[in-house]
Amino acid sequence: MRILPAPAGTGICFRRSDLDSFNIEAVGRNVARVSYATSLMKKGVLISTTEHVLSAFVGAGIDNAIVELDNLELPILDGSALSFLEAIQRVGLRKLLRPRTYWKIRSAVEVREGDKFIGVYPAERYSVAYTINFPHPVIGLQTFELDLVGNSYMREIAPARTFGFLHDEQMLRNMGLIRGAASGNTIILSDDAIQNGPLRFKEEFVRHKILDLIGDLALLGHRILGRVVADRAGHAMHTVLVSRLLRERSLTEPAYLEEETNSEESPTAAVLEQTV
């Protein structure tokens, strides 16, 4: 996989180098399936497990990039977004003169499915509050809240790794998923313990859910200005929220941050200095 610089206005685009450089834009209309991961599809061409790199782009402040790969699935690396961010930081970013456009949430939007919930509410900044509750002695009830300001994403969210349960392994492999899963990139849980500790955070499980959520909401095409609250939601509900916000455009309006529009270089901030 390579991450290439892209001109202002490109957004995030995945490119299959093994299929005549076929492009799939990272936008809600191209969501294909969301079973344990978020996949995109356009004209029958699939890109699987997009959420970690999309989340890293939001954390790094990247708005425009081409992600080139020669397979249908993105590399899992260490199971978090940290390796992507570290690679981006090594090459650096170049700010653009075009101001970054945000989607400002104008009205509350809520999606419910049984005891699962996700909602987004008007706010001046992007923040997330997530709750999970797994009937497992190591996880249980966990809640974490985060304002996406400064280096909070890099410090609090990017290192959080994906996790999975041993009793689900064969089912997922039969579905064609987790083909790269291993003890070096996944927190593996038996019925009552972690098989490959230690954890990076006490609440690493819910922090990774926030990582996934930020990546899924990147499919709106712009960072939001709003407060997101989720309770046991998951990829499917994340993308349902994306679809609703894209469909009902009166729920959002374009906005710019004053400190950015008043700066000499108002960042669309998304151009890498060179290929990663």
H helix runs in 218-271, sequence order: 235-247, 258-261
Q: What does the alpha-carbon distance between residue 255 and residue 46 come to, in Å, rounded to a whole number?
A: 32
Q: Does residue 235 have an active-site annotation?
A: yes
Q: Across-strand partners of 230?
A: 118, 130
* Coil/strand/helix, residue 189: strand
Q: Classify the C-alpha dihedral 223-82-203-134 as positive or negative.
A: positive
Q: If you compute the radius of gyration of the chain from its CA atoms, what whole number of angstroms results?
A: 18
Q: Classify the C-alpha dihedral 192-193-195-199 as positive or negative.
A: positive
CB 211 within 8 A of CB 80: yes
Q: Half-sphere exposure (CA, 13 Å, Cβ side) for 146? A: 27
Q: Across-strand partners of 271?
A: 94
- The residue assigned the tokens 């509750």 is 133
Q: What does the alpha-carbon distance between residue 64 and residue 107 come to, in Å, rounded to a whole number?
A: 28
Structure tokens at 42: 């356009």
Cis peptide bond N-terminal to 75, omega within 30: no
Percentages of the chain per state (helix, strand, coil), in multiples of 5: 25, 30, 40
Give the active site residues. Answer: 235
